[in-house]
Amino acid sequence: MNANLLFGSMLVVSIGVSSCATGGKEQNTGTKPVFSAEDMDLSVDPGTNFFEYANGGWRKQHPLPDDKSRYGSFDLLAEENKEKVKLIIENAAAQNAEDGTVSQKIGDFYASGMDMDAINKAGIKPIQPLLSKINSIEKQDDIVKVISFLQQQGINPLFYYHATADQKNSKMNIAGVYQSGLGMPDRDYYLEKTDDAKKLRDAYQNYLTTLYTLSGHAETEAAKKAELVFDFETSLAKASNSRLENRDPHKTYNKVDINGVEEMVKPFPFASFIKGMGYSVPAEINVSQPEFLAEVGKLYKKEKLSTWKTFLTSVVLRNTAAYLTQDFVNANFAFYGQAMSGQKEQEPRWKKVVNTTNGALGEAVGQLFVAEYFPPAAKKRMDKLVENLRIAFGQRISQLEWMSDETKQAAQEKLDAIRVKIGYPNKWRDYSDLKVVKTSYVENILASNRFELDFDLAKIGKPVDQDEWFMTPQTVNAYYNPLANEIVFPAAILQPPFFYLDGDDAVNYGAIGVVIGHEMTHGFDDQGRLFAKDGNMEEWWTAEDSEKFNARTKVLVDQFNQFEVLPGVFANGELSLGENIADLGGLLISYQAYLNSLNGKENTEKIDGFTDKQRFYLAYSRVWAQNIRDAEIARLTKVDVHSLGSNRVNGPLPNVQEWYDAFGLDAKSPLFITPEERASIW
């Protein structure tokens, strides 16, 4: 599975919503970032809706663009970065570089995606070899051969086959199998009985019908094929784990040999599938969802060849639609953009192609991005901030009244062992084997997919590369990886409103400091705490401490379950628990670190009328400023482990006494939670 999925089999947990430089342009940080009344809504009582109090003005100044389903601080910075990356790519394209160079690959990849005349003229010709392969199926064994072939192209009809660190031997990579095959974003869209779910199912079948029509089928025939595919995918959905089940690393750890896999998926010949991709059968494979594989085996046995051909064709069409003609692109947007997320119009073409070029040549672009935009001084200041946060977290652990000394000692050892990566990798990816042409966008996409698959599967059976990054430097995000016990902060997030190189300490601790604390806390959330300091999944807590932890986190679950995000739709406190623990922990740890930085003195300076303590919480809240469409609220509530921006502010803060003190809030405030009912974990 692609690690850029942020969460899933690799258990990478991010903050957001998702290279050795010796120079760089200074960021326009200013020396004293302020919070003006224009960015806030001072007419709102902070104890009633702190999110709106802190961000109301910003939200009015940044209305939702028609091409966005959500627009917030993260998105604004990502858009600014996209402009920078565009310049990098266009400069590479302008060089007319020698064939095989990184500049040639970046430039030609982008040029191929921007040439809509050539793309429209080519029609479906670029994917015809894939469709012909499917149409050549004549017997059951051919199904496996075709699935192997598609898997090589980065198209996963049934499951992801990938490399992953062994959760109980985290220094070694093994093979992994993870459920796939659904065209809708989550299994619940296939299964729920609500009117909204039914509308989306109808929209999805219309989308499939359009794809078949565009590929040359009569509309009546296309509609029948769409219905057949939907029924097939519904069978997969019924056997799929829920997102909540997939958050349980014990449930998704089922390591077996090839005989064990083939027993799960019989009569599907899994060894033949692996060999068909051109790889040897590994000694160990982790199957994340055994029940799903069992359903694959049943479908392999009972479904007609014609059904398999129809399904596999649909998988190719929906995996390539965004890169084909304008009609395909429009159909793809009509479902995934409009129906699913509420977007009114598509992004400009260049933004889409920048994203794709970034995905294919991420570290090559990242190396240029870092050299141009990431000053070494930012890395130096972040190093200091991280260590200050580590000290503060250690202080909080030592002061916990509910945890035994035995578990505290182990927690301190794990905290001390956390590895830190800031800005960019120590070594860059080599793209020598990736061939890029200027004449075919789809072929470049498929070539990149094959290149990434080879890179990934080559890791199986080898030691984990401790220097590998799972985000590019130009990504506005951060993550914690429990299997490596590491926190990672790409260069792109080290900019306002997260990080001010020469800025006010209260603001930096409230923004990037909380991000750092958030990622550290992931090592001790409901998932991360199941992994020891060396990254291995093992029980290092006493049984009594585990019970106390679960009781305390249930308070947070119950609190977030009460947030009504749309009429009759409530937040999922269990699905978002890890992120909510990390937000609350990050706030408490970073505030402690900020107090430590004062060395016992008081910071009496007010900026724009706000005290340092107020600036800390305003800076945190500004990170989550956003406007969002109702359709996107509904989608994210179902599929995202992160809470909505407003809930990331109004959710954790009422559990923090120092927040009440900073703004003079008391029991009369609607957000007030009595001390005995607050979540108190880290």
The 10 Å Cβ neighbour count of residue 496 is 20
Residues whose CB is less than 8 angstroms from the CB of residue 571 and which lie 6 or more positions away in sequence, other chains included: 560, 561, 562, 563, 565, 637, 643, 644, 647
Q: Which two tokens stand for residue 508?
A: 């930096």
Task: Show contacts of 95-100: CB within 8 Å, 24+ apart.
Answer: 100/432
Cβ-count burial of 205 within 10 angstroms (0-12 exposed, 13-18 middle, 19+ buried)? middle
Name residue 566's beta-bridge partners.
569
Active site residue 608: no
Considering only CA atoms, give the Rg of the chain: 25
Residues whose CB is less than 8 angstroms from the CB of residue 516 and which lie 6 or more positions away in sequence, other chains included: 385, 386, 389, 487, 489, 586, 590
Residues whose CB is less than 8 angstroms from the CB of residue 267 and which lie 6 or more positions away in sequence, other chains included: 297, 300, 301
Rounded distance between C-alpha atoms, residue 321 and residue 63, angstroms:
30
Is the distance from CB of 624 to CB of 649 less than 8 angstroms? yes
Is the distance from CB of 213 to CB of 202 less than 8 angstroms? no
Rounded distance between C-alpha atoms, residue 586 and residue 124, angstroms:
49
569-570 and 13-14: which strand pairing? unpaired
Q: Which of 233, 519, 579, 612 is catalytic?
A: 519
Residues whose CB is less than 8 angstroms from the CB of residue 351 and which lie 6 or more positions away in sequence, other chains included: 82
Active site residue 583: yes
Q: Output the CA–CA distances (angstroms, integers) from residue 84 to 34, 81, 89, 113, 232, in the order listed.
A: 25, 5, 9, 18, 43
With CA atoms as reference, report the closest residue to 454 among 422, 487, 429, 437.
Answer: 429
The 10 Å Cβ neighbour count of residue 163 is 23
Is the distance from CB of 424 to CB of 473 less than 8 angstroms? yes
Rounded distance between C-alpha atoms, residue 406 and residue 546, angstroms:
12
Is the distance from CB of 183 to CB of 237 less than 8 angstroms? no
H/E segment holding residue 285:
strand 285-287
H/E segment holding residue 311:
helix 305-320
With CA atoms as reference, report the closest residue to 207 among 68, 337, 67.
Answer: 337
Task: Show contacts of 434-440: CB within 8 Å, 24+ apart.
Answer: 434/105, 434/360, 434/361, 436/104, 436/105, 436/108, 436/109, 436/112, 436/360, 437/108, 437/112, 438/108, 438/111, 438/112, 439/112, 439/118, 440/112, 440/122, 440/126
Q: Which of 262, 505, 583, 612 is catalytic?
A: 583
Q: Which two tokens stand for residue 527?
A: 């998932």
Q: Which two tokens stand for residue 51?
A: 């999110």
With CA atoms as reference, report the closest residue to 494 among 640, 606, 607, 386.
Answer: 386
Buried b (16+ CB within 10 A) or exposed e, 533-559: bebbbeebbeeebeebbeebbebbbeb
Q: How far apart are the first and last CA of the chain?
A: 32
With CA atoms as reference, report the closest residue to 574 among 159, 272, 247, 355.
Answer: 247
Residues carrying an active site annotation: 519, 583
